[in-house]
Amino acid sequence: MSRTLIVFRHAKSDWSADYEGADIDRPLAKRGRKAARRAGRFLSDIAAVPDAVICSPALRTRATLEIACEAREWESSVRYSHPLYDGGVQGLMAEVKQEPHSTRLLMVVGHEPTCSETVAQLIGGGRVRMPTCALARVELLVDRWEEVGPGTGVLSWLVVSRLIEP
C-alpha cells in the first residue's frame, strides 16, 4: 500500500509588518492569505484533503494552514513540529517517518529551501523550485512511513497558487 505526501510551502509573508522581529513571528501578507484560500479550495476540489498534517510552528505556516482549512471547511489532525521550522530536510523526514500507519495522505507545511529540497530528494534528485504557497504531491512507493527516503517517491504534480482559479 502506497503513501501520499503533499508538501505545502507557506504563503507569502509580510516582511513590512510590525511584529517583534523574530522570524518565527512573521505574519502573512494580504496576498498570502488569498493564495492560502485558493490552495485550500484546490485541495478540497480535487479530493486531496490530508488525513493528517505536520506543520512548522511559525506564525506564517500556521496561518497558511488555518486559512486553507477554512476555505472549504475541511479538517485534518494537526501536529506542530519545530523540526519543520529549523530542522531542514533531515528534520522534516524524521517527522514524516514517525507518522502513524493509519495515515494514508499526509501534508507537511513548511519553509524554503526545505520544501524544494525535500521533494527533490524524495523523487531521486533534480531541481525543484517551490515558490510561496506551492503544493507538491509525491506518491511514495513504500508501505510504511518509516520507509520513506531518497528516491522513494514519484512527483504527481506541483501547483503554484497563482495558477489556481480565485
- At 44-82, the pLDDT tens digits run 999 999 999 999 999 999 999 999 999 988 889 999 999
3-state secondary structure of 86: helix
Average pLDDT, the chain: 95
* Topology at the third CATH level for domain 3-163: Rossmann fold (3.40.50)
Q: How far apart are CA 37 and CA 121, in angstroms?
A: 28
Position with higher pLDDT, 148 vs 20: 148
88 exposure class (CB count in 10 Å sphere: 0-12, 13-18, 19+): middle
3-state secondary structure of 92: helix
Question: How would DSSP label each residue in 10-64?
Answer: PPPB-TTS-S-S-GGG--B-HHHHHHHHHHHHHHHHTT---SEEEE-SSHHHHHH
Predicted confidence band of residue 161 (pLDDT cuts 50, 70, 90): confident
Could you read off the pLDDT of 12-54 as tens digits, one per residue? 999 887 777 788 999 999 999 999 999 999 999 999 999 999 9
* pLDDT value at residue 124: 97
Is 90 exceeded by the pLDDT of residue 133?
yes
Question: Which sequence spans correspond to the domains of the chain?
Answer: 3-163
Grid coordinates given for 46: 480535487
* pLDDT value at residue 20: 72
Give CA torsion, residues 59, 65, 70, 73, to 10 deg.
-150
pTM: 0.96
**73-96 mean pLDDT:** 96
* pLDDT value at residue 99: 97
